[in-house]
């Protein structure tokens, strides 16, 4: 019989329901018996002891809330009877001893990537077209229409056939009811058009709504973010389109590029519309230079590289009550494997580290790094509180519905993505990863803003866990989606790549799943596996405006 409940940490005073439990049921676990006073849906939690108002609730071994009213052993905890709470943290002592996982089966493994002159290795070979300001977005779309399809990078619009079928029904005089009941099929045929440049993974267009009209801090941060994409290992070169008068000036971008790669030598074409004059001349020059850049980019071919050259971004979105006990710990073990092999991982989403700060601070390899982490966390939280928000307001309605009723519960599970290795560096948005090991990056919890930032910092593959389902992707880095539960995996197979519900069902250990995921990453990095987000052209890109975004 499969296990029905789980205690995540020995110090916890809650049990997680792995399946729906009914009021009045008697639950036996590790020699103890609990009578349920409420229905407890799968993913939610019930108490293992009586509590008075203000008494602490622990999960993952940390404080995640406090009782708001007298509660009994066997009561469901909910937003109605529990209030968010998290322990404060100090710089503390260094606790960086780490038992590395056995990586013998991966020790001599390689992936086939694109080698850059700065020593980095990409998992793709993209050409970028980038606007310095939102005024150029329309011109980017013109270039996209001119280049993508004819170069062989177009993807079939699989639902266009459905619209054609509906048009024919309408012309035939069918009623609204007939049309709504019609059985229409999508066209899933592949685009078989041959790429002109076989070694160029794609041409991507990073439209955005920044560059002017906001604060100078935001435009400077945008330049740094764009520099991160231009210098990224997955990028062969870029065409930059500037209006000319915007806050985000080209010289700021160039300075940010030098900070990241002092000897930057990729093809980079910069065009300024106000200097060139006529729009037709501007666009013609952009098309010519981009085409010339693609010819150069096509000379680079995949070659073997050690796994130490991988940089994995760790992300979650649409989390549920199983995320922190299946998908997140699984990629946490993948993280530990890669770090033990000399690679780098990025853990971001600072609002979702609330409650586990002490553990992460203690794992920082130096006091300076721990103090920077503390400064960024406290500054971010105080900014949120100043406008009437705070980290405690991070869980979404979907999170709460699926058992993540406080930010600390959500955060303690989310932090599992980072594994157990020491923290080698703490980065502010959107600084570049420069050290192998576990890096913390200050970003919002917003899925796309955080993923966008992780890629700017150097992530060449992103592992994205979800319990509710999300299509999130990125223009230049493959984002692999991992389901925390088998029900989701089966329900949304078209956008989910990996199932970790096997852990909940007892079919696989966290360690076995972590190794399976690393094998999958090697396939992605070598261009042998196309993840769903790439297949669907899910090119999400949102710069973080440094106000309050949780």
The mean per-residue pLDDT over the stretch 134-147 comes to 96
Looking at the DSSP assignment, which residues form a beta bridge with residue 316?
A: 465
**Mean pLDDT computed over 110-130:** 98
Model confidence at 377: pLDDT above 70: yes
Taking residues 33-61, report their average pLDDT: 94
pLDDT band of residue 188 (cuts 50, 70, 90) is: low
What pLDDT, on a 0 to 100 scale, did the predictor assign at position 86?
81
Residue-level pLDDT at 394: 64
Mean pLDDT of the chain: 93
Helix residue ranges per DSSP H, 390-546:
397-401, 407-414, 447-456, 486-491, 501-504, 510-525, 532-535
3-class SS at 426? strand
Nearest to 211 by CA among 169, 241, 175, 171: 241
Question: What per-residue confidence (pLDDT) applies to 550?
Answer: 65
User: What global pTM score does this model have?
Assistant: 0.93
Between CA 243 and CA 279 the distance in angstroms is: 11
pLDDT at 190 over 70: no
pLDDT of residue 193: 75
68-117 pLDDT, tens digit per residue, is 999 999 999 999 999 988 888 888 889 999 999 999 999 999 999 999 99
Strand order across the beta sheet in which 5-6 lies: 5-6, 14-17, 45-47
Residue 187 has pLDDT above 60, yes or no: yes
Terminal alpha carbon distance of the chain: 41
**318 touches 411 (CB < 8 A):** no
The phi, psi pair for 113, rounded to 5°, reads -130, 180
Encode burial over 279-316: b for 16+ CB neighbours within 10 A, e otherwise: eeebbeebeebbbebbeebbeeebeebbbebbbbbbbb
| Mean pLDDT on 356-375 | 95
- Give the integer Cα–Cα distance in Å for 240 and 218: 19
The pLDDT tens digits for 235-272 are: 999 999 999 999 999 999 999 999 999 999 999 999 99
- For residues 175 and 188, what is the distance between their CA atoms, to the nearest angstrom? 27
Tokens of 241: 């389109």
Residue 157 has pLDDT above 70, yes or no: no
- pLDDT (tens digit, 9 = 90+) per residue, 454-466? 999 999 999 999 9
Q: 202 - beta bridge partners?
A: 126
* The two structure tokens encoding residue 484: 């925390």
| 3-state secondary structure at position 466 | strand
pLDDT at 31 over 80: yes
Residue 43 has pLDDT above 50, yes or no: yes
Q: What is the pLDDT of residue 46?
A: 95
User: 1 pLDDT band (50/70/90 cuts)?
Assistant: very low
Average pLDDT over residues 464-477: 97
3-state secondary structure 165-203: HHHHHHHCCCCHHHHHHCCCCCCCCCCCCCCCCCCCCEE
Answer yes or no: is pLDDT of 495 > 80.
yes
* pLDDT at 191 > cutoff 70: no
Tell me what pLDDT residue 368 has. Answer: 97
Distances, alpha carbon 526 to alpha carbons 118, 198, 310, 523, in Å:
20, 15, 11, 5
pLDDT at site 382:
87
Summarize the confidence of residues 421-436 as an average pLDDT. 97
Q: What is the C-alpha separation between 275 and 77, in angstroms, rounded? A: 63
Q: In terms of pLDDT, which residue wins out, 412 or 22?
A: 22
């Amino acid at each position: 019989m499969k296990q029905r409940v789980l205690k995540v940490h020995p110090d916890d005073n809650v049990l997680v329901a792995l399946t729906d439990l009914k009021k009045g049921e008697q639950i036996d676990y590790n020699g103890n018996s609990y009578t349920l006073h409420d229905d407890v849906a799968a993913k939610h939690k019930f108490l293992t002891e009586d509590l008075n108002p203000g008494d602490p609730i622990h999960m993952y071994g940390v404080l995640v809330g406090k009782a708001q009213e007298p509660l009994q052993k066997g009561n469901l905890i909910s937003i109605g009877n529990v209030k968010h709470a998290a322990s404060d943290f100090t710089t503390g002592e260094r606790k960086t001893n780490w038992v590395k996982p056995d990586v013998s089966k991966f020790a001599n493994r390689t992936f086939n990537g694109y080698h850059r002159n700065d020593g980095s290795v990409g998992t793709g070979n993209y050409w970028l077209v980038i606007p310095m300001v939102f005024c150029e977005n329309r011109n980017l779309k013109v270039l996209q229409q001119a280049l993508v399809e004819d170069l062989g990078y177009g993807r079939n619009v699989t639902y266009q056939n459905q619209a054609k079928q509906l048009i024919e029904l309408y012309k035939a005089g069918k009623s609204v009811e007939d049309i709504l009941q019609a059985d229409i099929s999508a066209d899933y045929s592949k685009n078989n058009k041959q790429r002109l440049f076989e070694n160029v993974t794609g041409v991507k267009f990073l439209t955005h709504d920044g560059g002017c009209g906001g604060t100078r801090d935001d435009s400077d941060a945008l330049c740094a973010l764009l520099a991160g994409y231009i210098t990224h290992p997955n990028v062969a070169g870029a065409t930059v389109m500037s209006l000319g008068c915007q806050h985000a000036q080209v010289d700021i971008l160039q300075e940010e590029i030098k900070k990241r790669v002092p000897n930057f030598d990729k093809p980079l074409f910069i065009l300024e519309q106000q200097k060139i004059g006529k729009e037709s001349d501007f666009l013609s020059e952009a098309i010519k230079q981009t085409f010339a850049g693609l010819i150069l980019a096509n000379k680079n071919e995949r070659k073997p590289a050690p796994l130490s050259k991988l940089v994995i971004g760790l992300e979650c979105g649409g989390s549920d009550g199983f995320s922190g006990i299946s998908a997140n710990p699984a990629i946490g073990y993948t993280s530990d494997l890669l770090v033990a092999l000399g690679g780098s991982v990025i853990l971001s989403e600072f609002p979702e580290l609330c409650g586990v700060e002490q553990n992460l601070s203690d794992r920082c390899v130096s006091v300076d790094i721990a103090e920077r982490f503390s400064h960024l966390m406290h500054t971010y939280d105080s900014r949120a509180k100043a406008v009437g928000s705070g980290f405690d307001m991070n869980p979404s309605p979907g999170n709460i519905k699926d058992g993540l009723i406080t930010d600390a519960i959500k955060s303690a599970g989310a932090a599992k993505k980072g594994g157990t290795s020491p923290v080698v560096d703490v980065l502010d948005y959107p600084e570049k990863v420069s050290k192998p090991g576990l890096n913390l990056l200050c970003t919002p919890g917003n899925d796309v803003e955080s993923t966008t930032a992780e890629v700017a910092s150097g992530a060449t593959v992103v592992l994205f866990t979800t319990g509710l389902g999300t299509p999130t992707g990125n223009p230049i880095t493959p984002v692999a989606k991992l389901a925390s539960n088998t029900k989701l995996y089966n329900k949304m197979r078209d956008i989910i790549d990996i199932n970790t519900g096997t852990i909940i069902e007892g079919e696989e250990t966290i360690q076995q799943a972590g190794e399976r995921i690393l094998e999958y990453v090697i396939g992605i990095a070598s261009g042998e596996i196309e993840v769903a987000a790439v297949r669907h052209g899910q090119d999400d890109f949102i710069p973080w405006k440094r106000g309050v975004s949780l």
